[in-house]
Amino acid sequence: MDWRTQWKALLFLLTGFLVSFYLPVGSLRFDHAVLEAFHLVRWYAREHVLLCLVPALFIAGAIGVFVSQAAVMRYLGPRANKVLAYGVASISGSVLAVCSCTVLPLFAGIYRMGAGLGPAAAFLYSGPAINILAIILSARILGIEIGVARAVGAILFSVVIGLAMHFIFRKEEQAKAEAAAYLPEPEVRRPLGHNALYFASMVAVLVFANWGRPEQASGLWHAVYGVKWMLTSLAAAALAVMLVAWFGLSWRRALLAAVPVIGLALIFPRQPMIPFAGAVFMLSAVTSTAGGEMEEWFATSWTFAKQILPLLLMGVFVAGILLGRPGEEGLIPSQWVTRAVGGNSLGANLFASIAGAFMYFATLTEVPIVQGLIGSGMGKGPALALLLAGPALSLPSILVIRSVMGMRKTVVFIALVVVMATISGLVFGALF
Amino acid sequence: MKIQILGTGCPKCHQLEQNARLAVSQLGLNAEVERVSDIREIMKFGVMMTPGLAVDGQVKSAGKVLSVEDVRKLLQP
C-alpha cells in the first residue's frame, strides 16, 4: 500500500465521517437553520424566478445579441477620446462583459492597447458591478433604493476609481503592446429607435409584472397596481408586434405563441402566473427554433440561465442556512451580525467593504446573502458597501488582476474600491 | 495551416474550438488547432474581446462564437 497516492482518498473519507458523526442534527439552531434554507429556496422559486428572473434573463440575452459590442469598443480603443472613454467604460460593463470571463482580457486589452489604465480600471470595477441581472434582482429583493444606489454608485465610483488610478500612476509609461488592437467592424444593424423600443417593451413587462401592492389604497401607485396585468399584457403584445415587424419573427410563429397564452388568460383570469408561464414557454419555443437572430437571442438567454440559476439556487440555500429568512435565525446568531455590521458606523461600513472585496460571490448570489444579513441586523449602509465591493473583486480575481497590472497597482485598486464602497455606504446609510 | 483559438476558458471559447475542429475535419484540411489561454499571449494578437480566432498568426475574428459554417467560409481559400 503506497499511502502517498492514497492520502487524498483517506482525508476525504475521514472528513466525511467526522462531519457526519458530529452533525448537530437535533440541536435547535441547526434544525431551524436547515428548515429556513428550504423556506428561503421555496420563497425565491415562487416569488422571484418566473416574474422577475426570467424576463431579466431575456433582457440580458437581448443585450448580448442586439447591442453592438464592436461599436462600443470604438470608444475604448487606442484612438479613443480619453474623456469619453471613462464615461463609456463605466456603463458598458453590461454590454461588453456578457460572459464573465471576458472581463479580464478586455481589461488587459484596454489597459495595454486601448484607452489606458484609467478607463481600464473604470471598466474593471464597473463591469461586474453593473450586471443587469444583479441590479434587477437587488431592486426587487432588497428594495428599489438599494437597486438604484447600487447602479448609480457603481457608475459614479468606477469613474472616480479610474481617474484616481490614472492620476496616481500618471508618471509611469505604459509598455506598448506589440500588436495593434484588433477591433471588429461594427455590423450594420437596425435603427436605434427600434432597438430602444424593443428593450423598453421588455423592461415594461418586467416592471409591471412586478408592480408591488402599495400600502395606501389610493394614489397613482395604487391605480397602476389595479391594472398591472393589463399593462403587462399590452407591453407583451407590443413586443410581439415588434418581433414580427422589425426582428424577422414570422407572424405565423407569433400567432402560434399568442393564441395559447390568450386562451390561458381567459380560462384563468384570477391566476396571472399561469398565462405568464405560458407566455414564457411559448416565447421560448418559437424563438429557440426560429433560426437567425431570434434563435441567437434565446440561445444567449439560455446560456445565462444555465450558468446562473444553479449557482443562485446554491447561494440562496447557503444564505438560508447561515442567516435564515428575514426575521428568523440561521446558524450565525443575529447578534454577531448586528455587532459587526449593524447601524451605520465607519467601522461597520469598512468591515463590510473589506469582507466584500475578498469574498467570492458567484453572479447574483450576493443578493440572497445580503438579504439574509439585512434580515439579521446589517445596516443599509454597510449592505450597500458590501454590494459595491463584493461582485467587483474576490481573491481569485485579484490574483489574475495582479498578473496584468502588477502588485502595486492592484493594491491601490483594491484600496480605492474599499474606500469608495465605505464612503457610499456611509452616505447611503445616513440618507435612508 | 495553424488555427489558434484565443480565450481564457469559458464555455464560449470551448464552443468556438469545437466548431473550428469540426470545420477543419469537414473540409479535410491538414490544419493544427491550438488553444491559447494565457492573457498575455492573447494580448500579443491584439485581441481584446474573447473568444478570438487566428489563422496562421492573423486574427480573423474576435468577440464572436463563429458557427461551423462561418469557420468553413474563413478557411476556404
pLDDT tens profile A132-146: 888 888 998 898 889
Contacts of A99 in chain B (CB under 8 A): 10-12
d(CA A159, CA A255): 46
Residues of chain A contacting B39 with CB distance shorter than 8 Å: 104-105, 108, 400, 403-404
Please count the other Cβ atoms lying within 10 Å of the Cβ belonging to residue A125. Answer: 32
The CA-based angle A102-A103-A108, given to 5 degrees, is 100
Between residues A99 and A322, the one the model is more confident about: A322
Give rounded-to-5 percent helix, strand, coil for chain A: 75, 0, 25
* Per-residue confidence (pLDDT) for residue A97, from 0 to 100: 65
pLDDT at site B41: 84
ipTM above 0.95, yes or no: no
Greater confidence (A367 vs A212) lies with: A367
Contact residues, chain A, for B61 at CB < 8 Å: 184
CA A285 – CA A256 distance, rounded (Å) = 10
pLDDT value at residue A259: 93
Q: What is the pLDDT of residue A51?
A: 87
H helix and E strand count, chain A? 22, 0
The per-residue pLDDT for A10 is 93
Q: Is the pLDDT of residue A176 over 60?
A: no
- Within a 13 Å sphere around the CA of A388, how many CA atoms are in the beta-carbon half? 37
Does residue A219 carry a pLDDT above 90? no
Cβ-based burial of A412 (10 A; exposed 0-12, middle 13-18, buried ≥19): middle
Q: What whole-number distance in Å separates Cα of residue A275 and Cα of residue A273?
A: 6
Q: Which of A109, A178, A303 sits opposite B48 (nearest CB)?
A: A109
Which whole-number Å values give the CA distances from A379 to A69, A339, A387, in the listed order? 38, 10, 12
Closest residue by Cα to residue A125 from A91, A74, A80, A172: A91
How many Å lie between the alpha carbon of A177 and the closest alpha carbon of chain B?
7
C-beta atoms of B62 and A181 within 8 A: no
CA distance A278 to A386: 37
Lowest mean per-residue pLDDT among A68-82, A83-97, A242-256? A68-82
CB contact under 8 A, A178 and B44: yes
B68-75 vs B11-27: helix crossing angle, rounded to 10: 50
pLDDT tens per residue across span B5-43: 988 877 778 888 999 999 988 888 888 889 988 877 888
pLDDT band at A418 (very low <50, low <70, confident <90, very high): very high
Pull the grid cell for residue A388.
Answer: 459595491
Q: Give the phi and the psi of residue A378 in degrees, each rounded to 5.
A: -70, 140
pLDDT value of position A286 = 92
Rounded to the nearest 5 degrees, what angle is found at the Cα of A211, between the Cα atoms of A143 and A312?
Answer: 55
Q: Are A375 and A345 in contact (CB under 8 A)?
A: no
Residues of B in contact with A182 (CB under 8 A): 45-48, 52, 59, 62
Which amino acid, residue A27? Answer: S
Give the burial string for A313-345 (b: 16+ CB within 10 Å, else e): bebbbbbbbbbbbeebbbbbebeebbebbbbbe
pTM of the model as a whole: 0.81
The pLDDT confidence band at residue B45, using thresholds 50, 70 and 90, is confident
Q: Report the distance separating Cα A326 and Cα A334, nearest Å.
A: 10
Q: State chain A's mean pLDDT as an integer.
A: 86
Which residue in the block uniquely carries the three cell numbers 433560426? A291
What is the reported pLDDT for B28? 87
Whether residue A113 and residue B9 make contact (CB cut-off 8 A), yes or no, is: no
* Predicted pLDDT at A334: 85
* More confident call, A65 vs A159: A159
Is the C-alpha dihedral spanning A24, A26, A29, A30 positive or negative? positive
Predicted confidence at residue A414, as pLDDT, reads 94
- Residue A299, judged by CB atoms within 10 A of its CB (0-12, 13-18, 19+), counts as middle
Neighbours of B41 (CB within 10 A): 12
CB A126 within 8 A of CB A154: yes
Mutation for testing the B interface, residue in A79, A182, A308 having most B CBs under 10 Å: A182
pLDDT greater than 90 at residue B61 = no
Of B8 and A348, the one with more pLDDT: A348
Cell numbers for A126: 464597473
According to DSSP H, which parts of A247-326 are helical?
251-267, 273-288, 292-323
For domain B2-75, give the fold.
Glutaredoxin (3.40.30)
On whether any CB of chain B is under 8 Å from the CB of A407, the answer is: no
